[in-house]
Amino acid sequence: MTDSALALATPQASSLGIWANPDAFDQGQRMAAALAGSSILPDCYRADKAGGKQALSNCLMLLSLAQRLQMDPFLVGQNMVPINGRPAFSSAFVIALINQSGRFTPLRFSYSGAGDTRACVASATDVRSGTELAGNPVSVKMAKDYGWYGRSGSQWAKNTDQLLAYRAAGWFGRLHCPEVLLGVATREEIVDAVIDIEPEPAPAPDVVMVKGSEEPAPAAVTEPEPEPAPAESAPPTFQVHNTLKAIASMTTPTALT
């Protein structure tokens, strides 16, 4: 293996940050302890709110992410909280990360339509190529269809344009520069991404309520009518009168044969 190939295959200490070696990890724990003792970070990072060990672990994750972003841990901590075990950025922080990356001109937000057709598109120009880039449009109808608009505590009805812009910025970032966001979603995206995994309830059987009965009676079942039995063949009939007359007129025993 060449030196260049070995360099690509071997993780670099700078990319691992506090996880690079025991000394770096010990130093990271001391920094995390300092962060956990602060009162200007969200509760999940504070030892007096989240508990000592959990707060320390959360602060280590915060330090690791801040190192990758090359930003102040306090600044990142003010704009990132874990939700359901996943880190989540504030939407304003996502816009700031995209704008300060230097890869694009500042994000622009274009609005169109009204009511349910009200929509927003985030766009910017690639600095190197001069190419105009745009994210996917986000509309009020989409917010209603996905359940964002009517969610409990939602601000969509009051701050429609603001939330359209926030959602459009997140979509632009994931489409054109996911490495800038390190794959981290926004708070709104994680909260709104509720997947209903409960199966559809089975239909209830039909019941008939009998007057004066406390429990429902089972639905009446119509039994098929039995098919009529085949008619028995009628016994042969004899003309009795004619037979007696023939007997009376016999002259020999063989006359009836």
> By the 8 A CB rule, do 152 and 127 touch?
no
Q: What is the pLDDT along the chain (257 residues), one digit of tens a residue?
A: 444 443 433 344 456 788 888 898 999 999 999 999 999 999 999 999 877 788 999 999 999 999 999 999 999 999 998 888 889 999 999 999 999 999 999 999 999 999 999 999 999 999 999 999 999 999 999 999 999 998 888 889 999 999 999 999 999 999 999 999 998 999 888 887 754 334 455 555 555 555 555 555 555 556 666 666 555 555 555 454 555 455 555 555 555 45
250 in a domain, yes or no?
A: no
Residues 67 and 108 in one domain: no
221 in a domain, yes or no?
A: no
The CA-based angle 77-100-129, given to 5 degrees, is 145
Between the alpha carbon of residue 154 and those of residues 144, 163, 192, the distances in Å are: 11, 10, 10
Question: DSSP 3-state helix, strand, coil percentages of the chain (rounded to 5)?
Answer: 45, 15, 40
- DSSP SS3 for 195: coil
117 in a domain, yes or no?
A: yes
Q: What total number of domains does the chain contain? A: 2
Which of 175, 194, 213 delimits the end of a domain? Answer: 194
Residues 128 and 175 in one domain: yes
- DSSP SS3 for 168: helix
Residues 70 and 95 in one domain: no
Which of 82, 115, 138 delimits the end of a domain? Answer: 82
> By the 8 A CB rule, do 19 and 12 touch?
no
Residues 75 and 110 in one domain: no
103 in a domain, yes or no?
A: yes
CA–CA distance, 107 with 160 (Å, rounded to integer):
18
Q: How many CB atoms lie within 10 A of CB 53?
A: 10
246 in a domain, yes or no?
A: no
Residues 31 and 101 in one domain: no
35 in a domain, yes or no?
A: yes
Q: How many CB atoms lie within 10 A of CB 77?
A: 22
Residues 101 and 74 in one domain: no
Which of 147, 173, 194 delimits the end of a domain? Answer: 194
247 in a domain, yes or no?
A: no
Which domain range does residue 34 map to? 12-82
4 in a domain, yes or no?
A: no
Among 76, 114, 112, which Cα is nearest to 93's? Answer: 76
